[in-house]
Amino acid sequence: MPAPRGARARGFGYPMWMIADLDQLLDRALAVRAPLLARRDLDALRLFNGRADGVDGLVIEKFADVLIVQLHEGRLQVGMSELRRLIEELHARLKTRAVYRKWFVRDRARVSEEHAAEHTRPEPWIGTRVEPQLLIQEYGLKFIIRPYDGFSVGLFLEHRDNRRRIGELSAGRRVLNTFAYTCGFSVAATAGGAVGTASVDLHKRYLEWGKENFGANALDLTAHMFFLSDTFEFYKRALRQGRRYDLIVLDPPTFSRSRRPPRVFVLDEQLEELVTGAVELLDPGGWLLLATNDRGITRERMEAALVSAIPHRPCTLIERPELPPDFAGDPEYSKTLLARYE
């Protein structure tokens, strides 16, 4: 399949020089992931992590027997024919059914209709068309993946260990999952014994997907609530209604735009306000997991936001979790802190 129209203009790796040791880099990346690939309770992982594995702009993820290849505009410097050869070999080696390609442009707000449509086409780049959704396994949980539903397929793999940790911490707790996306943290919390969860997201279709993820794990929805809301609006309502939580997950995007109310969310400008709002809903002894993939926000700033969220409310930083091994080599990719409040 040729590169989409406009790809050259968008800067997708068309200077046709090659990285000579591409095969070696891929071999090395797979060797690092061998223990994860060998696990029977896990079949979704990142096989190649861009610059950390030696090729900026190239990310390869495996979701059961489907590969998702992300190509990042302006960073990838590999010719498309060379890349296709590499991925075809990987596809044969891992016996996958299909490879779908996602082209990431710098400014997602300016994505054309044609470009967006490329990501919802059922025909893969390589291999044969697969069903619109498949189930992956992650440490005893199942998640629904949609390989051609848009840019994202339904699960952020860098949070695999965080989801497991939230599961471990959730027994008997009331859990709030803000920016919930497809509710991965809520599912992990519920499987771990949470007495109730609240999942908050701006998009109905993600919350519906989240409910289906509960169903995929045979988890009853009775004690679980789904709020179609901006997180700050949810905070106000929850305070008014006297809702309280014992564990809160805060994993916001770097930027987002909501229509009702019209609001632009910029994490860099609102991190402290976001953390304070969460802590106001935490009962004494409550825990907060704060994560971000905003490279501009330092761990020091995150710690300061947690510790000084509410004057005179003591906070202890309990853990500074590292990224899973398939994300190693790029510690700034995503940062997580876990804190407890008196």
Ligand X SMILES: C[S@@+](CC[C@H](N)C(=O)[O-])C[C@H]1O[C@@H](n2cnc3c(N)ncnc32)[C@H](O)[C@@H]1O
Stretch that binds ligand X, among 140-148, 177-185, 189-197, 332-340 (CB under 6 A): 177-185
CB 149 → ligand X: shortest distance, Å?
Answer: 13
- CA separation, residue 279 to residues 250, 276, 290 (Å): 11, 5, 11
Contact with ligand X (CB under 6 A): which of 265, 287, 327, 341?
265
Q: What is the DSSP letter of 154?
A: S
Q: For the segment 127-166, give every residue that binds ligand X (CB under 6 A).
A: 156, 159
CB 92 → ligand X: shortest distance, Å?
Answer: 31
**Does 199 help bind ligand X (rule: CB under 6 A)?**
no
Contact with ligand X (CB under 6 A): which of 200, 238, 289, 338?
200
What would the two tokens of residue 315 be? 């906070």
How many CB atoms are located within 10 Å of the residue 104 CB? Answer: 18
**Does 226 help bind ligand X (rule: CB under 6 A)?**
no
**Does 185 help bind ligand X (rule: CB under 6 A)?**
yes
Per DSSP (E only), the strands in 53-190 are 58-63, 66-72, 98-104, 126-127, 134-138, 141-145, 174-178
Q: Among all residues, whose Cβ is closest to ligand X?
A: 256
Q: Which is nearer to ligand X, 138 or 246 (CB)?
A: 138
CB 139 → ligand X: shortest distance, Å?
Answer: 15
**Does 201 help bind ligand X (rule: CB under 6 A)?**
yes
Where do we find the tokens 């690092």? 32
What would the two tokens of residue 4 be? 């989409």
Q: Which is nearer to ligand X, 148 or 206 (CB)?
A: 206
Cβ-count burial 179-195 (b if 16+ within 10 Å, e if not) = bbbbbbbbbbbbbbebe
- 256 closest CA partner among 157, 125, 108, 55: 108
What would the two tokens of residue 199 be? 């999942």
Q: For the segment 206-225, give every residue that binds ligand X (CB under 6 A).
A: 206
- Judged by CB under 6 A, the number of residues near ligand X is 18
**Does 270 help bind ligand X (rule: CB under 6 A)?**
no
Where do we find the tokens 């919350």? 207
- Rounded to whole angstroms, how far apart are CA atoms 105 and 115? 9
**Does 251 help bind ligand X (rule: CB under 6 A)?**
yes
**What is the binding site for ligand X (CB under 6 A)?**
156, 159, 179, 181, 184-185, 200-203, 206, 230-231, 251, 253, 256, 258, 265
